[in-house]
Amino acid sequence: MTEQTLAIIKPDAVKKDAIGDIIRRYEAAGLKPVAIKMMRLTKQTAEGFYAVHRQRPFFDSLTTFMASGPVVVLVLEGKDAIKRNRDLMGATDPAKASPDTIRAAYGTNIEYNAVHGSDSPETARFEIGYFFSGMELGA
């Protein structure tokens, strides 16, 4: 089934000049970018995006990190896009990620792990709507 998912190239990967390679990996995996923008999240915007994790011990450091530099936010579309993107990203901890994954290539640790991807259709709908209007998506 064709679906959409949100992907974020995080500040650590942007700083490593990995944007082009990461997008190339998405495209090579059959995930077509249908919306893309570079932006700088405020701490408040990052907190809203990650609100589901508000009670977790890593919430403050995660949102501070996400506001520390520019990010690239993308909507990827393709067959089983959510699962395919999650497989392409690799394990949350880059040390445990398969060698051919984005996180193994560009992640530093469990927090500075290069990319974010939606984990379910419901999450994808919320996350895409958080960053993109219907007009930006051609709706």
Rounded Cα–Cα distance for residues 58 and 125 (Å): 24
What lies within 8 Å, CB to CB, of 55 at 6+ separation is: none
Choose the catalytic residue: 35, 116, 118, 128. Answer: 116
Rounded Cα–Cα distance for residues 102 and 131 (Å): 22
Q: Active-site residue 116, yes or no?
A: yes
What lies within 8 Å, CB to CB, of 30 at 6+ separation is: 78, 79, 84
Rounded Cα–Cα distance for residues 85 and 120 (Å): 11
Q: Give catalytic residue positions.
A: 116
